[in-house]
Amino acid sequence: MSLLERLFGGVDEDNYADVATMFGRAQVYDAETDSDGIIRVLDIAGTWQSGSYVDERWADLAFGYHRVFDRAFRAPMGIRNALMLGGGALSYPKHVVAQTRSVVDVVEIDPKVIELAQRWFFIDRLTDEQRSRLHVTCSEAMAFLRQASEMERRYDLIVNDLFAAEKPTAELMSQAGASLVRDLLTPEGIYVSNVVSALKGKRARPLRLVKEALDSVFSQVEIVSLGSDEPRMPDNNVVFATNGTYSLAEALSGEGLPS
């Protein structure tokens, strides 16, 4: 049983698209879940990579780890602009521009995935003003980060959801990658990374490597695990890091976007 099937229960599928992408066969379908209604899914190589509700909740977040991302917006400095690495079906950036005033830059390496997102995942339901704050670039993530550094761009929030078949991008797990991200943040800015990893045992290595890299360049690192009931099974772990002067743990103590 896949990770998402464990979260949502069994699914009945309805297909819209089936195309080749850089990371395997991509399918778009509506999945009728046991627990949460109908979710439109971007499935790449058998993994639910992104998802969106199809009803009036189209700008809400269907995946639990995406809802944890929202805690970054509780940081006291406010999020004026954000960068998301790994756009997928644009579920999270769509949510941000629809429900906040933030400008969001999105980096997605696969043009086919961008095409699927724009056609099937309700980007057309955004207002013109909301769409004006959503900027999608087709690029490899590290190349974009290096170019952004050369241009001296700065972000209040950087979100890393870069996974190919549940494997994080190796360069962003290193101290050099963490340093590059740190240098692109504003002084109070916050970095958020989703890491699919166990908490214990051999399969916990990805989370250990990310934590070590971030500890080397950030003064505060916190982990919100979504799978602590099965610590030896890989699951989503959302890692937050900052050099801000506020208490990161306190900022993360609430749920969802600030009211």
HEC profile of 107-122: EECCHHHHHHHHHHCC
Across the range 92-100, mean pLDDT stands at 98
Buried b (16+ CB within 10 A) or exposed e, 48-58: bbbbbbbeeeb
pLDDT at 134: 98
pLDDT at 10: 45
Amino acid symbol at 58: W
For residues 148 and 189, membership in a common domain is answered with yes
In a domain, 58, yes or no: no
53-60's contacts with Cβ under 8 Å and 24+ in sequence apart are 54/30, 54/122, 58/122, 58/125, 59/94, 59/95, 59/98, 59/99, 59/122, 59/125, 59/126, 60/95
Q: Which helix (H) or strand (E) holds 6?
A: helix 3-8
For residues 71 and 190, membership in a common domain is answered with yes
For residues 70 and 135, membership in a common domain is answered with yes
pLDDT at 6: 46
CATH number at residue 246: 3.40.50.150
pLDDT at 14: 60
For residues 24 and 132, membership in a common domain is answered with no
For residues 10 and 100, membership in a common domain is answered with no
In a domain, 233, yes or no: yes
The pTM of the full predicted model, rounded to 2 decimals, is 0.92
For residues 162 and 42, membership in a common domain is answered with no
- Spatial CB neighbours of 253, under 8 Å, sequence gap ≥ 6: none
Length, in residues, of the chain: 259
CA distances to 189, 209, 242 from 219, rounded to whole Å, are 12, 16, 6
In a domain, 192, yes or no: yes
**From CA 77, how far away is CA 60, in angstroms rounded?**
23
The radius of gyration of the chain's CA atoms, rounded to the nearest angstrom, is 17
Residue pair 136/103 in contact (Cβ under 8 Å)? The answer is no
Statement: residue 26 has pLDDT above 70: yes
For residues 49 and 8, membership in a common domain is answered with yes
Buried b (16+ CB within 10 A) or exposed e, 93-106: bbbbbbbbebbbbb
For residues 86 and 106, membership in a common domain is answered with yes
Place of tokens 């089936």: 18
pLDDT at 9: 46
pLDDT band at 13 (very low <50, low <70, confident <90, very high): low
pLDDT at 170: 78
Question: Which strands sit side by side in the sheet containing 24-33, from one edge to the other?
Answer: 11-21, 24-33, 38-44, 47-53
Across the range 121-134, mean pLDDT stands at 98
In a domain, 59, yes or no: no
Across the range 21-36, mean pLDDT stands at 90
The pLDDT tens digits for 134-171 are: 999 999 999 999 999 999 999 999 999 985 444 557 78
For residues 102 and 202, membership in a common domain is answered with yes
Across the range 34-62, mean pLDDT stands at 93
In a domain, 142, yes or no: yes
**From CA 259, how far away is CA 255, in angstroms rounded?**
10
Name the least confident of 23-37, 88-102, 241-255. 23-37
Percentage of residues in the chain having pLDDT higher than 70: 92
pLDDT band at 218 (very low <50, low <70, confident <90, very high): very high
Alpha-carbon dihedral sign for residues 120, 126, 127, 128: negative
Across the range 60-68, mean pLDDT stands at 95
In a domain, 147, yes or no: yes
In a domain, 196, yes or no: yes
Domain count, the chain: 2
Full residue range of the structural domain in which residue 38 is found = 3-53
For residues 88 and 115, membership in a common domain is answered with yes
pLDDT at 130: 98
pLDDT at 47: 86
Quote the Cα angle for 97-101-104, to 5°. Answer: 50
Across the range 176-200, mean pLDDT stands at 95
For residues 195 and 226, membership in a common domain is answered with yes
